[in-house]
Amino acid sequence: MWMAVHVASPRIWSRGLQKAWSTWGCRLCSQSSSNTQPSHHPRTQAEKAKRRQAREKAILSSVGYTYQNAYTTLPFPQSYSPEYVEFGWYQWWEKQGFFSPEQHSKQPHAVDKYFSLCIPPPNVTGTLHLGHALTVAIEDALARWRRMQGYKVLWLPGCDHAGIATQSVVERKLMREQGKCRQDYSREEFLKQVWRWKNQKGDEIYYQLRKLGASLDWSRACFTMDPGFSIAVTEAFIRLCDSGLIYRSEGLVNWSCALESAISDIEVDSKELSGRTLLSVPGYEQKVEFGIMVTFAYPLEGQQGEVAVSTTRPETMLGDVAIAVHPDDPRYKDLHGKHCRHPFTERLLPIVTDSMVDMAFGTGAVKVTPAHDHTDFLLSQRHSLPSLTVIGGDGIMTSDCGQWLEGVKRFDARERVITALMERKLFRGKKKHPMSLPICSRSGDVIEPLLKKQWFVRCQEMSRKAVQVSERVLNVWLHQIEIVLIDWCISRQLWWGHQIPAYRVTVDGSWLCLKQEQWVWGRSAAEARQRAAVKFGVNPDAITLTQDPDVLDTWFSSGLFPFAMLGWPQQTEDLKQFYPNSILETGSDLIFFWVARMVMLGRELTGQLPFKQVLFHSLVRDKYGRKMSKSLGNVIDPLDVISGVSLERLQEKVREGNLDPRESIVAMEAQKKDFPKGIPECGTDALRFALCSYKAQGEDISLSVSHVLSCRHFCNKMWQTVRFTLATLKWQKISLKGETYPLSSMDRWICSRLHSTVQQCERGFESYELHTVTSALHSFWLHSLCDVYLVSMICHDTERQVAASVLYHSVSISLALLSPFMPFLTEELWQRLLPYTDSDGTSRSLCVQPYPKTSQLEHWCFPKEEADFSLVEEVVRVARLLRAQCQLTKERPDYFPFYSNDVSIYRLLMTLSLSVNLQNGINADKQRALLSQRREKLASKLKQALACTQKPNYTEKVPDKVRKDTENKVGTEENGQMHFTKNCTYHISHKMK
């Protein structure tokens, strides 16, 4: 029916289109935010801009009064301004308590369900970056969606004390500003400095979260060093010690000599070296050589001959206790059970056999240094070999090396060892060797595996229990916990953090056992003393306790976050209502460092999994696909995208940081290339919408500022649409009381499109595929509502009141659908429409309105009209594309559809082609030149893509995924070139003749 009226009557439709594009339709299609009202007084562009800025400034200066009653009564600015829109809504939301679960009972649409989650606590070491912004955008969208559905929502904010990272930053700050190191202070004095720095940085992070619109319940904000949280950490340690899951032992740990502390695996970066490389190492004036394999010989004891071994760390040979060969290696069959003599210490080194030895590596014989290598440590345990520490925690060679090396720094000792081997004619050469070098992410130091007495958590049994329970609830990745999580070192040699509640015991001034330390633990020193008295059967007064100066690993305390933040170990109301959390949403890089540990600790300490579902998002990279790094200069502060920032300020931030001067130069050069004019103001809503528009699960997200800017243009489109809607409602003086029934085919089509959009939103949210929700909403507002329906309203005068009512409902429902993603803009626009609603007065804020449901819009479902209208949508799209291709952005031509015997250039249905009257204002020669350039560009791209596939051994060398991507690219380029040559050249250049 619709098709018969609008497609079979091309002349009528042509007149309508001409009228529409000559008025509002063209303005809505423009990306410009210029004045949409015609000027009756000729003024220069500069004068117009000046008057507009003065008017906007006057409105903005009084905006503070707007939010007292959450009712927008000020004049509606002509263009969208993020600064104006985002000025005061958050303070009003927070003041009204909309983010508190206690508001649940006040909502008419409340349901008896809860939704709780905790924000992955950002480190208090600095400001948030775009990775944090992605987390906030996703989690806030989910929290706001559930809140609008009537759930009792609790989203808890918090910060992590970040032991090593925070202490490192504060130490560098004190050295830079005061020339003092940590040891120049007492522990208490240093901690005061850290707390002062934390209070400043913590406020900055919470300010950023508010700017991002995060609907967090700030009354329950949690910091991992708060007194209540510290009680939970102590309780967890005591319970795990009592159950035998925490023990103290000597083990090999990742050690940073610069920090003089053990560090976790996540704080170790692997630097891949292709060969000989000179690197800067803290504490060394000259660069140190890496990526070299040294070969030297050990003389056989009691017979002629030698065994040559290869190593990238010759300085550790002073700690060698054996030589290992593969039992099947024919080169060493006759040497099994024999010994070599160490040339510097005279120790006998047994030759042992082990199948873990790689016969193809080096000479096939490996030196065994248990105290300085993880693999060697495991091998030594199988063969009952001793361990000898020759490098101290400060990176200095120990007395076990002999006087000639004692007190020498480890990498200086490397050169001395090589020289000494040459002098004894045991040096057999060196060569380039690709290797992976472990680097401390906090200090830049080269990690030294060291044997240290530490506190460890037994993970195997806990992970087994967690897997058994989670098989029915969580994802498959938990099956890998048992493989990945070996016993976990939880002690750190720091001052900032939770001091370990364990005490070394002495009785009457003597150690209880000379061969073994004796330890007890307790919630307080008094409890520990009583435990010691019972354990050793002595009077408590005879006991002296010395608390372990070490602190617990930050991941231990953050592993308690889902239940400790709710008041555990006390059985608080929050714990009863909101535990387990409904969902955990976090980055995929934290599966084993944080998520797995939360699962294990939660299951062990509470008897339940800490969350019911786990949702991982991908990492945010820069537009080139690189991981964001301060040293690369590609880390972006979300506030800089929201408010805009100059290149000068970006570079000033780099200079204010703690980067090495050489890294600062690289970072600033990268900024000049990527942001030559700085970053334009995009606003919070545009940033959030852009982040949620990417597929969060799967490949990493390469975010460009240009994509965020395009979302800002979409915000302006929404702004102009509501301005038009308000004008329409005012002119028509329409009453919106009662139900709206669409009459015309166009009304039924837009209503049905809205129904389908609500359905897509429901499915997308339920499956946590937010990119499908944003795509559906963007498509409906831009292509259906603006590009077609508003134009139709201007073209036709019939049933204006019904159309205006349909428009109002389409806009207001769309604002509600968009609210979880764009909270500021949708609140502003919804409040503008509020005077026209038939609400009973309970509609205080959009953020607590019911989220639209398809069940409420079933009477607006017209599948036939929706299906038939796809042709018209394609015509509109092609018309705009042709206009852009012909560069007719200023002078608006006439459009008219006509029938053609052949298939149109864009394969329109029913062979309907669209022609543009190009007789006025177009240069045919210029268009031909542009078309030639485009054709040459397409040919060049196709040639490059084909060249990749014609390289020798392409099929064997190139991975399947890369080959598939390349083949898809070739196909796309071939289709594009054929399509362009066959269609565009004919239908445009021929029309110009």
Q: What percent of the chain has pLDDT over 70?
A: 79
Of 49-53, 260-264, 519-523, 881-885, the least confident: 49-53
Q: Is the pLDDT of residue 820 over 90?
A: yes
pLDDT of residue 755: 95
CB 847 within 8 A of CB 762: no
Burial of 891 (0-12, 13-18, 19+ CB in 10 A): exposed
- Top pLDDT among 931 and 26 is at 931
pLDDT of residue 451: 94
pLDDT of residue 738: 56
Confidence of residue 72 (pLDDT cuts 50, 70, 90): low
CB 446 within 8 A of CB 438: yes
CB 574 within 8 A of CB 116: no
pLDDT of residue 838: 59
Average of per-residue pLDDT across 543-550? 95
CB 678 within 8 A of CB 641: no
CA-wise closest residue to 167 among 183, 154, 155: 183
Q: Is the pLDDT of residue 24 over 50?
A: no
Mean pLDDT for all residues in the chain: 82
- Top pLDDT among 18 and 224 is at 224
Task: Extract the tokens encoding 671.
Answer: 């900024």
pLDDT of residue 477: 46
Q: Is the pLDDT of residue 353 over 80?
A: yes
Average of per-residue pLDDT across 53-63? 50
Q: Is the pLDDT of residue 31 over 60?
A: no
Unique residue bearing structure tokens 């076990």: 400
Q: Is the pLDDT of residue 315 over 80?
A: yes
Task: Extract the tokens encoding 244.
Answer: 């035998």
Confidence of residue 50 (pLDDT cuts 50, 70, 90): low
CB 525 within 8 A of CB 547: yes
pLDDT tens-digit profile of 568-613?
999 999 999 999 999 999 887 777 778 889 999 999 999 999 999 8
Q: Is the pLDDT of residue 957 over 80?
A: no
* Overall pTM surpassing 0.85 (yes/no): no
Confidence of residue 5 (pLDDT cuts 50, 70, 90): very low
Of 133-142, 143-152, 197-206, 311-320, the least confident: 197-206
pLDDT of residue 43: 54
pLDDT of residue 902: 37
Q: Is the pLDDT of residue 113 over 90?
A: yes
Q: Is the pLDDT of residue 819 over 70?
A: yes
Q: Is the pLDDT of residue 123 over 90?
A: no
Q: Is the pLDDT of residue 49 over 70?
A: no
Average of per-residue pLDDT across 863-880? 75
Residue 204, H or E segment: helix 187-211
Q: Is the pLDDT of residue 33 over 50?
A: no
Q: Is the pLDDT of residue 899 over 90?
A: no
Q: Report the C-alpha gap between 785 and 25 in whole angstroms.
A: 11
Reduced to 3 states (helix: H, G, I; strand: E, B; else coil), residue 202 is: helix
Residue 278, H or E segment: strand 277-279
Average of per-residue pLDDT across 351-368? 93
- Top pLDDT among 958 and 163 is at 163
pLDDT of residue 918: 52
Average of per-residue pLDDT across 66-71? 43
Confidence of residue 622 (pLDDT cuts 50, 70, 90): confident
pLDDT of residue 922: 62
Average of per-residue pLDDT across 942-965? 71
pLDDT tens-digit profile of 652-699?
888 877 666 777 888 888 888 888 999 999 999 999 999 999 987 767
Confidence of residue 741 (pLDDT cuts 50, 70, 90): confident
Q: Is the pLDDT of residue 25 over 60?
A: no
Average of per-residue pLDDT across 138-154? 97
pLDDT tens-digit profile of 717-736?
999 999 999 988 887 666 56
Q: Report the C-alpha gap between 891 and 893 in whole angstroms.
A: 6
Q: Report the C-alpha gap between 901 and 912 in whole angstroms.
A: 9
Taking the CA atoms of 559, 562, 563 and 567 in sequence, report the sign of the dihedral they define.
positive
pLDDT of residue 887: 65
pLDDT tens-digit profile of 399-444?
999 999 999 999 999 999 999 999 999 999 999 999 999 999 888 8
Cis peptide before 449 (omega within 30 of 0): no
pLDDT of residue 218: 96
Q: Report the C-alpha gap between 916 and 991 in whole angstroms.
A: 9
Of 159-173, 187-201, 548-562, 904-918, the least confident: 904-918
Q: Which stretches of 734-796 are DSSP H helices?
A: 745-766, 770-779, 791-795
Q: Report the C-alpha gap between 294 and 312 in whole angstroms.
A: 6
